């Protein structure tokens, strides 16, 4: 299948002697394997309190180290990362590249999306065509969160599925927000989180979900009678409603 240009993304080049070590100390995933071979990893930048600030793909194309960032948060993300540079030999420079993405046979130089096989491949430097894939349907089917929709400043990444989607590494060592994330992993059972639900009807993104009249969560992306929802698991077994729409677990 022909790839399509991801027009809602900004690509930032990361250069300098300390590029890999700098990112390694900042983000939720292990980026050091990229120093040895082309590839991509998904990672988050967190607050010291362990809450979401940004997510992006860290990409080694074989020719350059890049950050593939949602355009809506690209400027703020670069500014935040730059605050931590101190004396590190690293530079973050916006580029004119637009990634292309697609399903099916990948072009030469394409890399698999590291979050889930259903997201296909990404390529940097090749112009794509018009939108041809219902990416929301894929995201809903596999409960893959999107920046600014399911991923907000209130998000804890483990509740958003980052472990399942290969966006966090628990062996890599320290990074900003690591202590809170590790504690959630090893010392608590998650009581809330994103799940794919069935929905009969429709309601705006952000609609509160009620279970027997009590707050049970929030409704997000919807497609084909299913939706991504953030739920309190202790209330999710009861009949749920989001506006005029009925919500049930699969």
Tens digit of each residue's pLDDT (9 = 90 or more) over 91-109: 999 999 989 999 989 989 9
**Is residue 11 in some structural domain?**
yes
Q: Are residues 27 and 131 in the same domain?
A: yes
- From 135, 150, 183, give the residue that closes a domain: 135
Task: Count up the domains in the chain and report the number.
Answer: 2
Is residue 221 predicted with pLDDT exceeding 60?
A: yes
**Is residue 177 in some structural domain?**
no
Q: What is the mean pLDDT of residues 211-222?
A: 97
Residues counted in the chain: 250
Percent of the chain with pLDDT over 90: 89
CB atoms within 10 A of CB 246: 14
- Report the largest interatomic distance among the alpha carbons of the chain, rounded to a whole angstrom: 57
Provide the domain limits for residue 60: 4-135
Cα–Cα distance, 101 to 51 (Å, whole number): 28
Least confident of 1-5, 154-158, 162-166, 208-212: 1-5
**Is residue 77 in some structural domain?**
yes
Contact residues for 213 (Cβ-Cβ < 8 A; gap 6+):
none
Instruction: Give me the residue label for tokens 């259903």.
Output: 118
**Is residue 170 in some structural domain?**
no
Query: Residue 18 corresponds to which tokens in the numbers above?
Result: 């300390």
**Is residue 149 in some structural domain?**
no
Residues 166, 27: contact at Cβ < 8 Å? no
Residues 167, 218: contact at Cβ < 8 Å? no
**Is residue 107 in some structural domain?**
yes
Is residue 46 predicted with pLDDT exceeding 60?
A: yes
Cα–Cα distance, 55 to 73 (Å, whole number): 9
Cα–Cα distance, 51 to 67 (Å, whole number): 20
**Is residue 59 in some structural domain?**
yes
């Amino acid at each position: 299948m022909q790839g399509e240009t991801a027009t809602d993304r900004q690509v930032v080049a990361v250069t300098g002697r300390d590029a890999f070590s700098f990112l390694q100390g900042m983000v939720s995933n292990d980026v050091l394997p990229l120093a040895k071979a082309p590839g991509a990893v998904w990672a988050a930048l967190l607050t010291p309190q362990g809450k979401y600030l940004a997510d992006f793909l860290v990409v080694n194309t074989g020719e350059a180290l890049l950050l593939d960032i949602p355009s809506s948060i690209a400027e703020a993300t670069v500014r935040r990362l730059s605050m931590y540079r101190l004396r590190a030999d690293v530079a973050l420079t916006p580029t004119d590249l637009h990634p292309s993405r697609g399903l099916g046979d990948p072009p030469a130089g394409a890399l698999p999306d590291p979050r889930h096989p259903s997201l296909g491949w990404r390529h940097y430097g090749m112009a794509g065509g018009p939108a041809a894939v219902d990416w929301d349907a894929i995201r809903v089917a596999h409960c893959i969160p999107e920046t600014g929709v399911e991923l907000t400043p209130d998000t804890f990444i483990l509740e958003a599925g980052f472990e399942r989607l290969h966006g966090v590494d628990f062996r890599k060592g320290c990074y900003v927000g690591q202590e809170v994330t590790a504690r959630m992993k090893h010392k608590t059972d998650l009581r809330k989180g994103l799940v794919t639900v069935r929905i009969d009807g429709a309601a705006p993104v952000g609609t509160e979900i009620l279970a027997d009249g009590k707050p049970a969560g929030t409704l997000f992306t919807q497609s084909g009678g299913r939706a991504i929802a953030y739920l309190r698991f202790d209330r999710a077994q009861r009949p749920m409603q989001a506006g005029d729409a009925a919500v049930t677990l699969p």
